[in-house]
Amino acid sequence: MRCRKCPKKAIIYMPEHRLALCAACYSPWFLDHTERTIRKFKMFTRRDRILVAVSGGKDSLSLWHALHALGYEADGFYIDLGIMGSDHYSEQSKQRCRELSERIGRRLHIVRVAERVGAPIPEIKDLTAREACSACGLIKRYLMNRYALEADYDVIATGHNLDDEVAVLFSNVLHWNRGYLARQYPVLDEREGLKKKVKPFVYFTEKQTTVYALVNRIAYVRDECPYALGATTLSYKDLLAQLEHQAPGTKRRFLDGFYQIRALFAEPEAAALVPCSRCGQPTTAEVCAYCRLIEHVQRRRGLALAPADVNTSQSSLKQVLVSDSE
C-alpha cells in the first residue's frame, strides 16, 4: 500500500479515515490532528503553562513530545508509584520519562508515592480494602492537581486515547453511572481549586499513538502495569475492538455522539466543593479521600501520627519535590 500524500510505502493504514501514510508523512498528520483537537475543545494556547502527566508509556510520552513539537510550553510530571515486580516497572518508567525530558529539554518533576502517602502502591494495595487501581487513581489525581496549583501551571494534560475513553464510556454506560457520565469530557474547566484538565489525544487510537512513538523513536515502557492485567476495562477493549473491526469508525462515532448529549447527565445539584480540613484541597467531605487514605495507611502501618505530624506530611508538595532538571 502506498502513502496517500507521497509515493513512498505506507507504514500505517487507518480504516476509520480510509487513510494510508508513510513514516515521513505520519508525524505531520498526527500533529495537525492534535492541534485540531486542542482548538476544537479550547484546551489551551501557546501562552499557557501545561503540565503533562507522564507515566513512561507510549500515550503520555507521545503527548509530551507532540505538544513540545507544536511549540507549547509543556513540562512533565511523573509519579513514582513504587511498583517493582520482576521488571522494575516504576524504575523503567521513570527512566523513559527522564530520557524524553533530556531530549526535548523540558523539566520533569518527580514525586514519590512512598514519600507522600507513607507507602508505595503495592503496600497500599495490601493495607486497604480499595482495589489497587482505585487507590492509585485517587493518589495520582490528587498529587497532580496539587502540584499544578502550587507550581502555577494553567492546565493538566493527560495522554488518554480513544480506546481508553471509549472503554471507560462503555463501562459508565453499562452501569449508567450518571455522575461519571456527566464528567467524561476531553476538557474539564478549572473550578474551586481543581485545575483545568484536558485530553488532547482523545481521538487517537492506541495504534496511532504507538506509531507516533515509534516513528519519533520515543523509548517507552511496553508493559501494562502489572496490577491492571485482567482489569475489566481491558476486556471491554476487546469487545469494542470487535465492533470497530466490523464497522470502522464505530468508536469515534460512539464517543462523539456521547459528547453531543452528555449535558443530559448533568446533575442539577452537584455536590459543592469545600477545602479539606487537613490539606486544604477541594473535597465534598470534611476530610478529603486522599487524607483519609494516608491516615488509614499510616494507622495500619502502626505509625500513629499526632495531628501536627499529619500537617507536616501535608506540607507543600513543591518543597519536597524531586525535580530532575534542577
In the region spanning residues 146 to 185, those forming contacts with a copy of itself, defined by CB under 8 A, are: 173-176, 178
Nearer to a copy of itself, 261 or 272 (CB): 261
Q: Tell me, residue by residue from 48 to 87, as one string, x for binding to a copy of itself by CB under 8 A and - for no binding.
A: ----------------------------------------
Query: At closest approach, how far in Å is the CB of 203 from a copy of itself?
Result: 17
d(CA 207, CA 163): 9
User: Which amino acid belongs to residue 239?
Assistant: L
Q: Tell me, residue by residue from 265 to 284, as one string, x for binding to a copy of itself by CB under 8 A and - for no binding.
A: x-------------------
Q: Does 239 bind a copy of itself (CB under 8 A)?
A: yes
Residue 19: beta bridge partners?
14
Nearer to a copy of itself, 92 or 250 (CB): 250
Q: How far apart are the first and last CA of the chain?
A: 47
User: Which amino acid belongs to residue 181?
Assistant: L
CA dihedral of 125, 127, 129, 133, whole degrees rounded to 10: -20
**Cα-based distances in Å from 150 to 39, 108, 123, 246:** 26, 16, 28, 47
Which residue bears the cell 474547566? 189
Q: What are phi and psi of 48, to 5 degrees?
A: -85, 150
Nearer to a copy of itself, 246 or 319 (CB): 246
Q: Which one of 110-118, 235-243, 272-280, 281-289 is the stretch in contact with a copy of itself (CB under 8 A)?
A: 235-243
Nearer to a copy of itself, 40 or 175 (CB): 175
| Cα 274 versus chain centre, distance | 25
Using CB under 8 A as the criterion, which residues of the chain lie in contact with a copy of itself when the complex forms?
A: 173-176, 178, 235, 239, 242-243, 246, 250, 253-254, 257-258, 260-261, 264-265
